[in-house]
Amino acid sequence: MRDPFRPPTGPLAALDLLAIGVSGPVIHVRLNRPAKRNALSDPLIRQLHTCFVNLPEEVRAAVISGEGDHFCAGLDLSELVERDVGSGVLHSRMWHAAFDAIQFGRVPVIAALHGAVVGGGLELAAACHIRIAEASAYYGLPEGQRGIFVGGGGSARIPRLMGVARMTDLMMTGRVYDAEEGLAVGLSQYRVADGEGVAKALALAERIAANAPMSNFAVMHALPRIADQSQSEGLFTESLMAAVAESTPDAQERLRAFLEGRAAKVIKSR
């Protein structure tokens, strides 16, 4: 039985645009602007950054979801009007810092998606490590229709999930993918019934939190970088990361546990 979720203490307690609960090693962070469909205003982006650089010590995995009928409607368009070039660059860099704190932070992050996952909402989802989509989830990149471009890391992250050609199609034509299509093209890794996304995400988060922290670190930090490297550089990076991971006391105990018959076998799931 999971402990009840408790509100955080410390710097996270002041974040009023996020509804945050901590239960054991799992933190659940909910975007909490449902009246504006969780549109990402500057204060909300800053709060996401503050949250992920100040995770409580005991946290080992995180879940992000959205309050209300939608995960996230993307950039708060009311803030975009009359922004000059210089502040536009800084604004985009602020998003990059926040989403980097999620992708390259201390713990794996799982997104539970429902309703609109559009524009910056899809950029946020793409910064997470695993995405679970409820049947109601749909994906779009309306930047093309709004006369703007992605600025929250979408051009770097989204093609790595579904390819440049598909992203071009979404941006140029306004095409929208439903949950099934999103699963098929790689935007999500799981598709669940409506109302089941958060429970699935929390269950996966608990399982991930039980991994050796250095294994999770290697997957989060080494894997995407190796994918960006040449094969030769990637293989070398892999050797270094593998040696670091397997030399931890945690790894040695887990290997011993298997050899002594104390650890679970790998079996086919249903």
Q: Tokens for 91? A: 């604004």
Among 116, 125, 130, 171, binds ligand 1HE (CB under 6 A): 116
At what angle are helices 154-162 and 120-127 packed, to 10 degrees? 70
Tell the smallest beta-carbon distance from residue 192 to ligand 1HE (Å): 21
Among 98, 118, 124, 161, binds ligand 1HE (CB under 6 A): 118
Q: Which stretch binds ligand 1HE (CB under 6 A): 1-9, 47-55, 72-80, 253-261?
A: 72-80
Positions 145 through 204 that interact with ligand 1HE (CB under 6 A): 146, 148, 150-152
What positions carry a catalytic annotation?
Answer: 123, 143
Tell the smallest beta-carbon distance from residue 270 to ligand 1HE (Å): 36
Q: Do 5 and 21 meet the contact criterion of CB atoms below 8 Å apart? A: yes
Residue at shortest CB range from ligand 1HE: 119
Q: Could you say whether residue 126 binds ligand 1HE (CB under 6 A)?
A: no
Number of residues binding to ligand 1HE, judged by CB under 6 A: 23
Q: Which strands form 177-178's sheet, in the order they lie side by side?
A: 116-118, 138-140, 177-178
Q: Which is nearer to ligand 1HE, 107 or 161 (CB)?
A: 161
Tell the smallest beta-carbon distance from residue 41 to ligand 1HE (Å): 8
The CA-atom distances, in angstroms, between 129 and each of 64, 124, 241, 267 are 11, 11, 19, 24
Select from 86, 29, 92 the least CA-distant residue to 61. Answer: 29
Select from 137, 140, 11, 132 the least CA-distant residue to 74. Answer: 140
Positions 74 through 113 that interact with ligand 1HE (CB under 6 A): 74-78, 95
Q: Which is nearer to ligand 1HE, 20 or 158 (CB)?
A: 158
CA separation for the pair 181, 176 (Å, rounded): 9
Q: Do 156 and 100 meet the contact criterion of CB atoms below 8 Å apart? A: no
Select from 167, 104, 125, 139 the least CA-distant residue to 40. Answer: 125
Residues that bind ligand 1HE in the complex, under the rule CB under 6 A = 36-37, 39, 69-70, 73-78, 95, 116, 118-120, 142-143, 146, 148, 150-152
